[in-house]
């Protein structure tokens, strides 16, 4: 897997905006050029046009180079293979679910801690 802070070589792309074809850092980021923020099916397409499409490092590197070579016009009119879309749908769905689980295990205890702290301060003040 490509680490979040790992930069690729000059001749590689991490992700491209499916709306305007501009380069971006992560598939789920809002595009800085056209302000497009992909969701649902568009997010799956965005993952398709990013190195996150593959988990295998060699495939990632190969795809990163292919992504760099595609023109903006080719990106905007890219033909998404339906089998690959299906596969990525499951992959992205799992990621979203994992993210949701993250909220329950990290988000809720964090909110509870903040509320507890606020209450403690509040109780002391009054
Ligand atoms: Zn864009």
Q: Tell me how far the alpha carbon of residue 121 lies from the centroid of ligand 1, in angstroms.
A: 46
121 pLDDT more than 60: yes
Distance, CA 23 to ligand 1 centroid (Å)? 8
- Local confidence band at 1 (pLDDT 50, 70, 90 cut-offs): very low
**Distance, CA of 42 to CA of 28 (rounded, Å):** 9
101 Cα to the center of ligand 1, angstroms:
30
53 CA distance to ligand 1 middle (Å): 19
User: In 3D, which of 49, 39, 37, 55 has the Cα closest to residue 91?
Assistant: 55
Give the distance (Å) from ligand 1 centre to CA of residue 16.
8
- Span from the CA of 64 to the centroid of ligand 1 (angstroms): 18
C-alpha 61 – ligand 1 centre gap (Å) = 22
Q: Please name every residue paired with 24 in a beta bridge, in sequence order, or none if there are none.
A: 15
Whether pLDDT at 4 is above 70:
no
What b/e readout covers 70-109, taking b as 16+ CB neighbours within 10 angstroms? eeeeebeeeeeeeeeeeebeeebeeeeeeeeeeeeeeeee
- Model confidence at 99: pLDDT above 90: no
Q: Tens digits of per-residue pLDDT, 43-86? A: 999 999 999 999 898 999 999 999 999 999 999 999 999 999 99
Q: Is pLDDT at 89 greater than 90 in this prediction? A: yes
Ligand 1 centroid to 84 CA: how many Å?
A: 22
């Amino acid at each position: 897997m490509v680490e979040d802070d790992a930069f690729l070589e000059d001749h590689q792309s991490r992700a491209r905006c499916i709306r305007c074809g501009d380069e971006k850092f992560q598939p789920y980021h809002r595009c800085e050029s056209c302000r497009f923020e992909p969701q649902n099916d568009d997010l799956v397409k965005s993952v398709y046009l990013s190195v996150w499409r593959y988990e295998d490092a060699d495939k990632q590197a190969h795809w990163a180079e292919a992504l760099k070579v595609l023109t903006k016009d080719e990106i905007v009119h890219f033909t998404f293979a339906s089998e690959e879309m299906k596969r990525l749908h499951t992959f992205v769905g799992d990621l979203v679910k994992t993210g949701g689980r993250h909220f329950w295990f990290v988000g809720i205890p964090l909110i509870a801690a903040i509320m507890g702290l606020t209450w403690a301060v509040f109780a002391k003040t009054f």
